[in-house]
Amino acid sequence: MERLKSAVPAELRRSVGEGTEGDLPCTTSRLLAFLDGLPLFHQVIGELTDPELALCRKDKGRATELKGRGNACFSRREFEQALGFYSQALRYFPISSDGTDRSMIATLYINRASTLHKLGLLEECLRDCDRAISVSPNYSKAWYRRGMVNASLKKYSSAIHDMEVALNMEETSSGKSNIEQELKMILEKHQNINEVGASSSNFMDAEQQCKVVLDCISTPNKGRGMMSPNDISPGSLIHTEDPLTAIITKSCRDTHCHYCFSEVPADVVFCPSCTLPIYCSKMCQEQAVGEISWNQNTCLEFNNNSVDLAKLSITSTRCRTPNSKHNAEHRHECGGAHWAAVLPADIVLAGRVMAQYIEKRLMDRKGSTISSPNLDLIHHYDQESPASKFESHIYAIVLLLCLQNYYRSDFSCTEDSLSQLVLLISQIKVNSIAIVHMKSMDGGKELTVNKGFSAYGDAVMCSVEQVRVAQAIYMSGSFFNHSCRPNVHAYFYSRTLFLRATEYIKAGSPIELSYGPQAGEMDLPERQKSLQENYYFSCQCKENFVHVSLGECHVCTLSLPDISKFDDDMLKVGKLFFRKSDAILNIDPAFCMSCRSQLDLSFAVALSNRATSKIYRLKELTALDNVPEVLIAEALQSLEQIKKLRHPYSKALAQVEDTMAEAFAKVGDQEQARKHCEASIKILEKLYHPNHIIIAHELIKLVSIDLSLGDGASTSAALARAEAIFLLYYGPDVKRILPYVGVLRRTVSERAKRIEYYHDFSQKARKGIQEEDGNAQNTCAKRAPTSTGHAG
């Protein structure tokens, strides 16, 4: 794309960059006319859409090679490596429309299922067996393997059925003999052991549908916004919404499902037409690419309009109706073309919105001329930089031609369609919302049950990170305005957006969330710059402040208006205030407002930066489980320097205390870890309110430390407080959003029961010893001779 951009003359580029929204028909048509006559442009479009040049095309030869390497690893009992090779073989193996390669696909599924069985991943193994049977129902090995895993799961009735089917299908005598032996053992176990039924889910039923009434209003300073005519209590679920469309981030492409954005299991499912997307289940796969059927008809039907998909190796069923909840959002990106893997996320999102609009028009029989949808969302095209406007023009033209190549319709790229597509890209830039999932730093739902909570003195400090997994468009969610002090909390489960009130919201008050870092997480200039660059507005929240410290005295400088715009009365009032408060008005740079001493700011900043760099080095080594004690000692000295140079209630100092807590936890000094963790919590309580969610996450770390110290009372108190905060922010969804909290609760309860048992046992033992001592004394007293007095 850079070659294409550099080929555009400077005069045309300047004209596009300096144009306004009203100039779009002219600028788009001029740029399209120039590019249409440029051979490089047609070369770029060909590279993006030609299946033979695609980087994500299927490759049968490579799949066969990967299968062989997987077999070799399996023979050497290197099961984890074999699992990776089998999965990659499934990723690259093409699915032919006539079904001639079904046996190979079924074999790959069963090979992976056998590997999963060896690794003890029984549920994943069972799903792969089901997939193999759906592809090749007469494959005896698939039935045999499913019978074996059902037996391992103690589902003996299902295991017996599968083994009997496998026995009937098996043709070799040796194979029949092996199945008969396994079947005999399963029958014996079935008679002696009660069968295990399906496990019930512990997930709480979905909360009742949100009943909060919301109105879209016009505000004087922030444009459109949301409010409710009724009072809203803390913890109330305000809004839920599925996205219009969404796309996974590049950093999560190989680790998360491309539809629901959850972490993929070991039995990952791939796109049947290209090698780019991965899915956690067949359901997510079909939601993204459409339902897959094995027949020879390679034509995707849109009522009476058909689109030739001969280049695809699968058949999708009839397109979903316009009223269906989901569209097959990846289907138009398949078929060997890799433009969706190359273009930026904003552009791919625009393409998915366009694809929905095109398919709806085709089904509604509204002709073949393509225009772009109007999402009724704000945009700031006129405020964008010239470079951003020029890029939007280039990408709009490229995207429209890529879509035209897929749908193979005789539509034309008009001035109107290109202009609207440029505005659509601008709308997506401003209104797209990052989907963030919570991830335990200790390994997800198996959180430290084996790592840190099973024995005293062996704790790993529990922590959680936010992972930005996707970018999405939420039509109603985009209407909520920003505040640095929001009154609602936004979170996600799968693709669904949830908004929950974190405080009492009076009827008629604006309902606002935070678009980016909240107050205290970033200095004022940085936060305002971030909001301006990403959302094109200057935040005027009253809570904008930045902490400043000079020497050992600390001040908090508020973000005040420019007093040069006012008359001298403001300065007079300020001087009068300082005189009445017995203070000296000295707010010049490098003067401390507390002790009024002058400092060398450049030296202080350099000293602070050196101290902070040592803390960062300690944090890096802590993440690698390599914490030298010498570095901890140096970090403690740096911490004291930072305390003198930073405000005592700054986010930076809280992060330093948190880093020290993690380091001490790693080396096993849990007392010091608790000390620094509590210091971090104290700072955060001053910086935020006591029920802020960031306090809850820090409390979870304190719980894990207290567990290792065996402090049951402190552990229970900290966990109860954290759970109360999480309940405010997540409601009943806390169990599925933060499953590790449930693990902690069970661990704390088990630890308390164990301590209570040992306490009772010790009391009984002491009581028994005392009783034995008493009995022994009584026996001795009875046996002792009675002394009688004799005269002389």
Residue 284 lies in a domain: no
Q: How confident is the model at residue 15 (pLDDT cuts 50, 70, 90)?
A: very high
Range 29-50 average pLDDT: 89
d(CA 764, CA 772): 12
Residue 774 has pLDDT above 70, yes or no: no
Q: Which residue has the higher pLDDT, 270 or 291?
A: 270
Torsion of CA 428, 433, 437, 441, to 10 degrees: 90
Query: How many structural domains comprise the chain?
Result: 1
With a pLDDT cut of 70, the percent of the chain lying above it is: 74
pLDDT in the model for residue 594: 58
Range 516-545 average pLDDT: 66
| Weakest mean pLDDT among 315-324, 605-614, 625-634, 700-709 | 315-324
d(CA 333, CA 403): 9
Residue 646 lies in a domain: yes
Range 423-444 average pLDDT: 80
What are 329-388's pLDDT values in tens digits?
888 887 667 888 889 999 999 999 988 888 877 777 655 555 667 777 888 888 889 999
3-state secondary structure of 90: helix
- How, if at all, do strands 510-513 and 481-482 pair? parallel
pLDDT in the model for residue 378: 84
Residue 400 is which amino acid?
A: L
Q: How confident is the model at residue 403 (pLDDT cuts 50, 70, 90)?
A: confident
Residue 564 has pLDDT above 50, yes or no: no
pLDDT in the model for residue 311: 31
- Token pair, residue 376, equals 């009724």
For residues 87 and 73, the answer to whether their CB atoms sit within 8 Å is: no
Question: Which of 140-154, 370-384, 560-574 tops mean pLDDT?
Answer: 140-154
Residue 202 has pLDDT above 80, yes or no: no
What are 599-623's pLDDT values in tens digits?
677 777 788 888 888 888 888 888 7
Q: How confident is the model at residue 725 (pLDDT cuts 50, 70, 90)?
A: very high
Q: Tell me the CA distances in angstroms from 364 to 97, 131, 329, one per residue in order.
A: 29, 36, 19
pLDDT in the model for residue 542: 52
What are 82-97's pLDDT values in tens digits?
999 999 999 999 876 5
How much is the mean pLDDT over the chain?
78
Residue 633 lies in a domain: yes
pTM (global) more than 0.85: no
Residue 772 lies in a domain: no
Residue that the structure tokens 């020497």 belong to:
551
- The residue range of the domain holding 607 is 550-667
Q: Which residue has the higher pLDDT, 213 or 300?
A: 213
Range 163-171 average pLDDT: 90
| Weakest mean pLDDT among 136-140, 608-612, 626-630 | 626-630
pLDDT in the model for residue 359: 80
Residue 487 lies in a domain: no
Give the CA angle between residues 144, 147, 149 to the nearest 5°: 110
Provide the terminal-to-terminal Cα distance of the chain, rounded to the nearest Å: 128
Residues with Cβ within 8 Å of 123's Cβ and at least 6 positions away in sequence, in order, are 153
Residue 446 has pLDDT above 70, yes or no: no
Residue 129 has pLDDT above 80, yes or no: yes
Residues with Cβ within 8 Å of 273's Cβ and at least 6 positions away in sequence, in order, are 58, 95, 289, 312, 313, 314, 334, 335, 336
Strand partners, 464: 440
d(CA 281, CA 270): 9
Give the CA angle between residues 89, 95, 97 to the nearest 5°: 170
Residue 641 has pLDDT above 50, yes or no: yes
| Weakest mean pLDDT among 161-175, 382-396, 555-569, 643-657 | 555-569
With a pLDDT cut of 90, the percent of the chain lying above it is: 33
For residues 608 and 549, the answer to whether their CB atoms sit within 8 Å is: no
Residue 640 lies in a domain: yes
Residue 621 lies in a domain: yes
